[in-house]
Amino acid sequence: MRFVIEAIDNITNARVATLETEHGRIHTPIFMPVGTLANIKGVHQHELANDINAEIILGNTYHLFLRPGVTTIEKAGGLHHFMNWNRAILTDSGGYQVYSLSKSRKITEEGVTFKNHINGDRHLLTPEVAIDLQRSIGADIIMAFDECIPYPCEYDYSSRAMRLTHHWLERCIKKKNSKPPLYGYQQYLFPIVQGGTYSDLRAQSARYITEKDCHGNAIGGLSVGEPAELMYEMTESVCNILPKSKPRYLMGVGTPANILECIALGVDMFDCVMPTRNARNGMLFTSQGIVNIKNKKWANDFSQIDENGVTVIDRQYSKAYLRHLFVANEMLGKQIASIHNLGFYLWLVRQARKQIIQGTFGKWKNQMVKKVSQRL
């Protein structure tokens, strides 16, 4: 996996790079829209490519394993073909969803036994199974199987979970190397740094992960309820250890402000359900701040959704119209807001990229963090 750093900010640790996959070049820093069930809710694939301009999206192995199942995805020739998306895809390992969604799960050294949240069937997910499932799905970047812990979590448990994650990583790598990819193009395995909110564990995990010399590295177990400052602290300490020459992916983060702050710490890749989930509840992220479009104040505001909006959608509909759709509970409202928010997130990381190249990132970032966090 070619990862070429093109610019480094002179004040922060922000950097600009390109990452090559066989499904296209990814310009980092990048945000990856979350397409849990082989689609981004409310958004057509051509809108994602042409209007939002996403370069890589995320799929959830746990969800895809349950529906449509890997047999169907294999028959389709992989997830790219199944959903008709020819740009890059990253899949998580299924671990996080097993902890957050399934019932009566039991974690052992072997793996995790759980009942799925759809029909209660019992399954065993192991590092080997997670790699096999991701091989069938066929994402360009696949993730190691890890144990995700909640926040807060005691030191001893955090430490044990981290060690288990490390053991599982060895098995993931072994399994990954045991078979060629299924669809003729490379899949790149990213290991995940764990260690909860304890700096020494995080450092230990980051060093361990670094040694494995994988194509990229991820930071997991953050954005799970801890204060933002703690998330930044952990991210910073981990970024200081993870090799500069490889992409860094901060999993599940975050708000526009979180993303800007973590770009400054040296993170290259992000994913989060926030832009789409909040969109479906009528919360718009705009270049001027946060808009609750259901609010009565927008009832007769016929200005565009976002004056600086970059998507076609932003220029087609007014705030008053979008508010009406939400008040009347029309699905088109959720569609418009989802496209807008994703368009904004991708615009934001593209802007960050430009500012880093220009050498103006630090100042711009501080202004933008304030702007995008205020409620209009």
Question: What's the min distance (Å) between Cβ of 311 and its own copies?
Answer: 11
Is residue 271 part of the annotated active site? The answer reads: yes
Residue of 4, 11, 124, 312 that binds its own copies (CB under 8 A): 312
Pick the piece of the chain touching its own copies (CB under 8 A) from 11-19, 38-46, 153-161, 171-179. Answer: 38-46
Q: Which of 9, 51, 92, 306 is catalytic?
A: 92
What is the helix (H) or strand (E) element at residue 123, kind and residue range?
strand 122-125
Tell me 29's DSSP state: S
C-alpha distances (whole Å) from 48 to each of 148, 182, 216, 255, 348 are: 30, 26, 25, 20, 16
C-alpha angle 358-4-346 in degrees, rounded to nearest 5 = 60
CB 248 within 8 A of CB 239: yes
Which range, of 66-74, 206-214, 264-272, 357-365, touches its own copies by CB under 8 A? 66-74
Closest CA to 308 of 275, 336, 340, 355: 340
User: By CB under 8 A, is residue 72 in contact with its own copies?
Assistant: yes
List the binding residues: 92-96, 146, 194, 221
Taking CB under 8 A as the criterion, the residue among 46, 122, 179, 207 binding its own copies is: 46
Do you know the residue count of the chain? Answer: 376
Does the active-site annotation cover 268? no
Token representation of residue 320: 């008053």
Residue 354 in contact with its own copies, rule: CB under 8 A: no
For its own copies, the closer of residues 72 and 288 by Cβ is 72
Q: Does 45 bind its own copies (CB under 8 A)?
A: yes
Q: Which of 84, 108, 366, 367 binds its own copies (CB under 8 A)?
A: 84
List binders of its own copies among 250-309 (CB under 8 A): 299-300, 302
Sorted by sequence, the CB contacts under 8 Å of residue 173 that are 6+ apart come out as: 144, 189, 191, 212, 214
What are phi and psi for residue 58, nearest 5 degrees? -110, 140
Omega of the bond prior to 282 within 30 degrees of 0, cis? no
Piece of 9-17, 42-50, 228-236, 361-369 that binds its own copies (CB under 8 A)? 42-50
Which range binds its own copies by CB under 8 A, 105-113, 261-269, 321-329, 363-371? 321-329
Q: Supply the minimum distance, in Å, between the C-beta of residue 284 and its own copies.
A: 17
Tokens read off for 48 = 């994602």
Of 280, 304, 278, 310, which Cα lies nearest the Cα of 375?
278
- Annotate each residue in 326-345 with x if it binds its own copies (CB under 8 A) or - if it does not, as one string: -xx-xxx-xxx---------
Query: Given candidates 320, 350, 364, 371, which one binds its own copies under the rule CB under 8 A?
Result: 320
| 182 makes contact with its own copies (CB under 8 A) | no
Nearest approach, Cβ of residue 205 and its own copies (Å): 34
Q: Tell which one of 67, 103, 106, 179 touches its own copies (CB under 8 A).
A: 67
Binding residues for substrate, as ranges, are 92-96, 146, 194, 221
Q: At what angle do helices 155-178 and 127-137 cross, to 10 degrees?
A: 50
- Does position 183 interact with its own copies (CB under 8 A)? The reply is no
Among 62, 82, 168, 249, binds its own copies (CB under 8 A): 82
Q: Describe the chain by its helix, strand, coil percentages, rounded to 5.
A: 45, 20, 35
Cα 281 to Cα 269, 277, 287, 309: the distances in Å are: 25, 7, 19, 19
Near its own copies by CB under 8 A: residue from 43, 139, 193, 224? 43
Whether 248 and 242 have beta carbons less than 8 Å apart is answered as yes
Per CB under 8 A, residues contacting its own copies are 37-46, 63, 67-68, 72, 75-76, 81-84, 299-300, 302, 312-313, 316-318, 320-321, 324-325, 327-328, 330-332, 334-336
> Which residues participate in catalysis according to the annotation?
92, 271
